[in-house]
Amino acid sequence: MLRLFPTVLTLAAPVAATAAPEKFLCSFAGHSSARENNDGGFVPGKSMLNVDAQNSTATVYDAFTHMVYNAPVATKFTKKSNGMYRLRWKVKGVPVTITTTYDYGIPEIIKTKFTVRYSLLFNPETLQGKLSVSGGGERFTSSGKFDCDKTNKNLVF
């Protein structure tokens, strides 16, 4: 009887349901306004989101994280009261080439690196989001609309 008690206790303990992390492949669907078309090219065309809402963690992988880190980057993850997800991250050291023209039309080419900050407000029900981008030496800000699909594939560059 004493041997049976731990087994019964184990079976009676509640089993916590664990939701698997979800992957989303998101594509840039356009700027939020016409004035934001000059975003410096810092709005990625495609992004892979790996979201574990239960543990409040997420990673993002896109062309910039691949170029700088060659790996996904962890985000600050917040689940809002309306069910939306807020993901925030920054990419430090994005290589940039700036061409400016001074006196006599002589171009000057400057190679530098920017830190770019991203904030994605994502609706997991409609699979749509709005990506806000800011940073860089020119202090630009822009935002873009994203359409996403659930996937089990990986994004490859």
Task: Tell me, yes or no, whether 1 lies in a domain.
Answer: no
Strand ranges in 106-139 using DSSP code E only, listed in sequence order: 107-123, 128-135
Q: What angle do CA 49, 53, 76 make, to 5 degrees?
A: 65
| Domain containing residue 125 | 23-151
Q: Is 58 helix (H, G, I), strand (E, B) or coil?
A: strand
* Burial of 70: CB neighbours in 10 Å, binned 0-12, 13-18, 19+: exposed
Task: Tell me, yes or no, whether 13 lies in a domain.
Answer: no
pTM of the predicted model as reported, rounded to 2 decimal places: 0.78
Amino acid at 49: L
Structural domain tally of the chain? 1
Task: Tell me, yes or no, whether 9 lies in a domain.
Answer: no
Give me the tens of pLDDT residue by residue for the chain, a chain 157 residues long: 455 444 444 444 444 456 789 999 999 988 766 555 556 678 888 999 999 999 999 999 999 899 999 999 999 999 999 999 999 999 999 888 878 887 787 888 888 888 999 999 999 999 999 998 888 666 677 888 999 999 998 888 7
Report the C-alpha gap between 103 and 157 in whole angstroms.
40
